[in-house]
Chains A and B, each alone.
Chain A
């Protein structure tokens, strides 16, 4: 059975395609049933590319408006071989990972404090909610002024955008711990630390991982927003640069690279989830 979460998974293809059914089925038998749907992702991509090509041919758009898939692919190979793509992707990935680390640790620490202390939450949450009402795009230029044009300002934009959803999920997760289990642990004379590691973390984990899923997707957006304001490297910078040069194929390449980063991060969290929450999976 598929869980609700898998249903909304962006990796799950919408379209299906009847391919080489015989060999496909033989291959399928070696892969657990719940992953079968993922196998349809490549053919679905193929359908998407065909439609794209068709659109370009029917509309006869110039390349700087809508480049054909083949042109984009050639550009992709070129950017990959001359090292441009890897250079910019690495810069963005670094910002994303550092931003995630910062945002996650700040949000989980503060989330723990808020979950434990209602008065701390009442004291600080108005400011946090207020800060969230400022669009990050409007805040990013200020952050660049404060933290410079380098990686740091992007990391901070990224961390800020990751912070809020993770904070909320941490609070909700920790508050959802079963009171009876708390009593049980108390009756064994559990220390605060044991309460945390043996009860609170595992109990909150499903919700925490949900927050992480939102966080990793947002983190890519955060890095790009930061790079749009001021940067000399990164995929967001590459998009901006190519726009100036009317190099639309390169913009597509950069966008696809961003998608790949976001999908990999998300996939990583899903793998982590399958591993850590394996007890829930057998139904």
Chain B
């Protein structure tokens, strides 16, 4: 089952700007195997969002290529789900209708899909809020709607850009546990950007560390902590070791 589902090879990306070109990514290569959970950490502005957009087919690389399941990626695919850095909800749709949006676009309307959306809203702790509109929710609640929405159409690959960035530490921890539970049950392939080193280690099989401008994968760290994981793992000695390793590599970047 160690079959590579997502690969990038020699990806470069430069943004043109008024003050000359900004080299955002340089020679990024990575391979993610099916069912793997990978975290991506790096300082702000190092190109994590750019990389995620390229991996999801929303942005074309200047050089190099991305392959999904051996096929070259030229445009967004339905089996790749996104959670953007901002909630990105449609303000005119109710919470429930925001969650069912991917199904609607993909022509999968129906009663069981509504039920699935409600289940996911329950999972992210938003039952009872389904008929409100996004502007009536807090920032963290909006982000949880976005999480439910990303799971509803069951994409095989999930690309998440700091999904829990706007949540408090306690909710964040709950969401981490939920995410692990979902991942365990569905065995999706997940690539998640985060600023929190603990979170990166807690969730992932592997942590990729990016260096800034131009963004480059500086180090890869295998997280061989036992699964299933729970909050106990934070007190594990190996966890502390990994934490220091990641922190040192970011500092060296």
A contact residues vs B (CB 8 Å cutoff): 178, 180-181, 183-190, 194, 198-199, 202-203, 205, 277, 279-280, 282
Contacts and interface: CB of A to CB of B under 8 A. Distances in A.
A181 B88 contact: yes
A188 B78 contact: yes
A279 B92 contact: yes
A199 B90 CA distance: 8
A258 to B, nearest CB: 35
Contacts of A184: 82, 84, 88
Contacts, number: 58
Interface stretch (B97-105, B121-129, B177-185): B97-105
Contacts of B81: 187
A111 B231 CA distance: 56
B87 to A, nearest CB: 9
Nearest to B58: A183
- Interface size range on B against A: 20 to 34
B163 interface: no
A251 to B, nearest CB: 45
Interface in B77-94: 77-78, 80-82, 84, 86, 88, 90-94
Contacts of A277: 92
A178 to B, nearest CB: 7
Given A184-B82, A282-B136, A189 B105 contact: yes
A190 B104 CA distance: 10
A194 B53 CA distance: 21
Nearest to A195: B105
B56 A187 contact: yes
Name the residue among A185, A189, A198 with the largest chain B CB count within 10 angstroms. A189
Interface string B53-95: 1001110000000000000000111101110101010111110
A202 B90 contact: yes
B78 A189 contact: yes
A194 B75 CA distance: 17
B95 to A, nearest CB: 11
A15 B119 CA distance: 54
B138 interface: no
Given A181-B88, A187-B82, A198 B104 contact: yes
B153 to A, nearest CB: 7
Given A199-B90, A202-B90, A189 B106 contact: yes
A56 to B, nearest CB: 51
B188 interface: no
B133 interface: yes
B48 to A, nearest CB: 16
Top 5 A-B residue pairs of the complex, sorted by shortest distance between their CB atoms: A188-B105, A180-B88, A187-B76, A202-B92, A279-B133
